Amino acid sequence: MIEFIQQVKYRNETLFYYGLLCLVLSVVFILLTKFSNTQVYGVNAWYKPFKFAFSTFLFAWAMAWYCYYLPNFNINLFNWSVIILLGFEIFYIAFQAGKGQLSHYNISTPVYAALYSMMALAASLVNLYTFYVGLLFFKNSFPTLPNYYVWAIRLSIIIFVVFSFEGFAMGSRLNHSVGALNDNSNWFIIGWSKTVGDLRVSHFIGMHALQVLPILSYYVLKNTKLTVCISVVYGLLALLTLIQALKGKPLIRSKNAPNEIIHKMD
């Protein structure tokens, strides 16, 4: 683990420290859940900034690792695009959490609507830039890397981008639930609904292909065809959970959950 951390720092010192900052922030946010009773839609308000900060930490270190392989890539432009755009998202989400108000789906005032749109734009720009990185992995050859590992990186980026943009399915509805209004369940930290469809499930699975598939391919599969097959299965898993959510069905239904649940806005 120490060698891996040293390698991330060597490959991209800027994203290394940014990811480390996000990790520290995620620890701060999770600790705040123990000292604050502020809630949004029935869950502690600080869980949301925790999830976004920790997810950004994982994204920053993963891209620091992968972009190192690209020849003639403007890494400084990519770094600062990620830092500024995702940094804005984390700051605004944490700011709203501190006030006990929504960051996402909040169009209650013109200012909040504009900031929500800016978050959507920031996420879209990062996704498009990541998609461009994925294209570079298809365009270039990497003779010093195992072919199966390269394909894992390529396919993981594609799956990541597709299911990152799946976030617009939630944004357009101003709701991450199908069958209720932003339902959350007491399911550890992730809070996925146990009563209705939850669009966050496929969003989560698809986005973390970026870490899962290359690690699985490099350390376990070690085969190009097997890597491609597992990547397709992984993508189908994310797609199936999306279809399941759109049908109003939770990933795991609570035994005490009613067939239909409707929540009113706080």
Pick from 21-25, 63-67, 82-86, 254-258: least confident: 254-258
pLDDT per position as a tens digit, 150-164: 999 999 999 999 999
Owner of token pair 């996704």 = 127
User: What is the chain's mean pLDDT, rounded?
Assistant: 92
Average pLDDT over residues 182-194: 79
For the segment 35-52, the average pLDDT, to the nearest whole number, is: 91
Rounded Cα distance, 205 and 238, in Å:
6
What integer is the mean pLDDT of 181-186? 79
Residue 189 is predicted with a pLDDT of: 77
pLDDT band at 144 (very low <50, low <70, confident <90, very high): very high
Residue 178 near residue 245 (C-beta atoms within 8 A) = yes
User: How confident is the model over 112-127, as a mean pLDDT?
Assistant: 96
Residue 103 structure tokens: 């960051």
Segment 40-60 mean pLDDT: 94
Question: In this predicted structure, what is the pLDDT of residue 187?
Answer: 67
Label the pairing between strands 43-44 and 39-40: antiparallel
Tens-digit pLDDT profile for residues 98-119:
999 999 999 999 999 999 999 9
State the pLDDT confidence band at 31, using cuts at 50, 70 and 90: very high
Copy the structure tokens of residue 187: 């399911």
Give pLDDT, residue 258: 53
More confident residue, 191 or 51: 51
Handedness of CA 204, 92, 21, 85 (dihedral sign): positive
* Structure confidence at residue 260 (pLDDT): 46
Of 19-28, 36-45, 240-249, which gets the smallest average pLDDT? 36-45
